[in-house]
Structure 1
Amino acid sequence: MKKIILLLITLTVFASCKNSSEENGKLKVVTTTNILADLVSKIGGDKISLQSLMGAGVDPHLYKASEGDVSKLYNADIIFCGGLHLEGKLVDIFEKMQGKKNTVSVGDRLPHDKLISSANFASNYDPHVWFNIQFFKQFAQIVTDELSKADEENAETYAANNKKYQAKLDDLETEIKSIINTLPREKRILVTAHDAFNYFGKAYDFEVVGLQGISTATEAGVRDVQKLSDFIIDNDVKAIFVESSVPRRTIEALQAAVLSKKHKVEIGGSLYSDALGNPGTEEGTYIGMFRYNVNTIVNALK
């Protein structure tokens, strides 16, 4: 019954929509996550009208669309989503829009032989690809190409913005590698609330262990906590990390399990994983978020 009601809402909204480009002269773009919104804003600038469904601290694995979100999606000229089943509870809506809206799943555009396999996701791949800066550079190119196709008049502006942003991403990678190189390899063990950092680990030489697995929809059990607490003790891990979009109780339970075994581990800070920080802050941008995460990880593990 709920699915029928949602379908009626979406059809009604779609039928009542006007072409947004006729309303204000700008391409109307909607993103699912604020990570994508930051990227699209860097490429589109003031040539587009941009909205994001999810803000700071929002978990895309669990996010459900409101009636207002459905309206935004059906009014958009282009929709950018993470793909690879990141926004698992929005898949039905995207399927209903096939052939009606230009929906770009950026993660699905990446070469699959470069992705990390995961039996826990319907896509069979880990969707947290933005933690490899080289992949995010490909995202920027995809966004540029799609905006340029939809709005040829401003294609040169999009290309110029992309060129500037690509250079900034190159500078970011040089910077974070320099920071990471101050941390001995034997200390590069990253324990987090859920397994969002595997691409980061593969790209920048960290062993990554998540308590909840790749999706936050999967709860960690007592056995998971005990097994990971033994791993922390055996490897003399100095710090573990909470995440801004995941309740901290799971990591606090892990810390308590370690303490119960007469070993000490600190909570090294909160990392941004599935969402950026608040608008207007350094962590509210992809580059600022990445820099903050690396500094937090390295300083705690030292």
Structure 2
Amino acid sequence: MNARANKTGSLWGLLCVMLVLVLAGCSGNGSAQGVSEDGKLLVTATTGMIGDAAREIGGEHVEVTTLMGPGVDPHLFKASQGDIRKLDRAAVVFYGGLHLEGNMERVLVKMAAQKTVVAVTDDMPRDRLIGSEETGEFDPHVWFNVDLWTIAAETVRDTLIEKDPANAEAYRKQGERYLNELKELDAYVRERMLEIPAEGRVLVTAHDAFGYFGKAYEVEVVGLQGISTAAEFGARDVSALRDYLVERNIKAVFVESSLPARSMQAIVAGAAQQGHDVTIGGELFSDAMGEPGTDEGTYIGMIRHNTDTIAEALK
């Protein structure tokens, strides 16, 4: 580790301490009691996918705030003063875990000593995750396996019931409805992927966020970058992926809403120079959902959009 990395780590360690002290110092104000003026349980979620699950299951009994909106890359997210206030006033904080939120996870873990802070991946069997239990490093993009994401929804439901037992029956009913919708979604994704011939079922994207999708729905996945966008790619990576497209005769690649499209456009141009035509098959939502109020602004709508985009481009 170089001096710059050491300095960055020290700064983050200091920031963690400062944020916890700020939260502790604010704990006496009314908003920190975790209930809105109209009596709703205040919930803060790091990502849109988690926030959507909390809204679906919590319904009228919760007020959900999401830290990371459309187009935000959670791997590189840095909490602002406004985000600290959102965390402070919440009765419950949900986050992804598995290092999805990068250095911010240190803050969230420290906060757990003062309020209900839950990683929605905590209850997922480690043998269903992509990664290594020996190193403790796992791919955090679990929401792309819809069946696995039902466990996250169950964690949200159970946490709300425990925190707000007065509305437990409502959380159970809304949780059951949402879990049934997820089961239907899982079947829909599976059926649509089977429309693509097996040899053409190759998903090429800007970073390796779709590993769970590929494993669950029998799709070969190739990313220009690794699991985290914090790891930079170089000219060699671009050349290797360009050559892969040519050798495999792949006709379409995909850009992501939370990442610049220029890297994939460069690869398409490079393949064209070698006489191989590749198109941009469409934009996928990977680390963030779409705009609020749109279908893609919900978890189910986002997954359906991705599924339909991939199926239409590759089949």
The alignment's TM-score, normalised by the length of structure 2, stands at: 0.91
Amino acid at match of 1:158: Y
- What corresponds to 1:102 in structure 2? 116
With 31-40 and 256-265 compared, the bigger mean Cα shift is at 256-265
2:127 aligned with 1:113: yes
- What corresponds to 1:15 in structure 2? 25
- What corresponds to 1:230 in structure 2? 243
2:57 aligned residue (29, 37, 43): 43
Shift of 1:16: 2.4
1:54 aligned residue (62, 68, 74): 68
Contact in 2 for aligned 1:10/1:71 (Cα 8 Å): no
With 230-239 and 9-18 compared, the bigger mean Cα shift is at 9-18
Unaligned runs of 5+ in 1: none
- What corresponds to 1:69 in structure 2? 83
- What corresponds to 1:164 in structure 2? 177
Distance 2:66 2:44 in 1: 6
Contact in 2 for aligned 1:268/1:297 (Cα 8 Å): yes
2:152 aligned with 1:139: yes
- What corresponds to 1:299 in structure 2? 312
CA RMSD of aligned residues (A): 1.7
How many residues are paired up?
A: 300
Shift of 1:24: 4.0
- What corresponds to 1:86 in structure 2? 100
Distance 1:22 1:164 in 2: 25
Distance 1:62 1:22 in 2: 30
Identical counterparts, % of pairs: 47
Amino acid at match of 2:41: L
2:230 aligned with 1:217: yes
Contact in 2 for aligned 1:31/1:52 (Cα 8 Å): yes
With 138-147 and 168-177 compared, the bigger mean Cα shift is at 168-177
Superposed, 1:263-278 pairs within 5 Å as 263-278=276-291
- What corresponds to 1:26 in structure 2? 40
Distance 2:19 2:102 in 1: 20
Contact in 2 for aligned 1:74/1:101 (Cα 8 Å): no
Shift of 1:22: 7.4
Contact in 1 for aligned 2:200/2:314 (Cα 8 Å): yes
- What corresponds to 2:275 in structure 1? 262
Distance 2:191 2:159 in 1: 34
Amino acid at match of 2:62: I
Amino acid at match of 2:80: S
Distance 2:140 2:23 in 1: 30
**What are the Cα deviations for residues 25-63 of structure 1, in whole angstroms up to 9, with x where unaligned?**
221110000111111100001101210101111110000
1:280 aligned residue (280, 287, 293): 293
Residues 1:8 and 1:137: Cα distance change in structure 2 (over 3 Å)? closer
Amino acid at match of 2:67: L
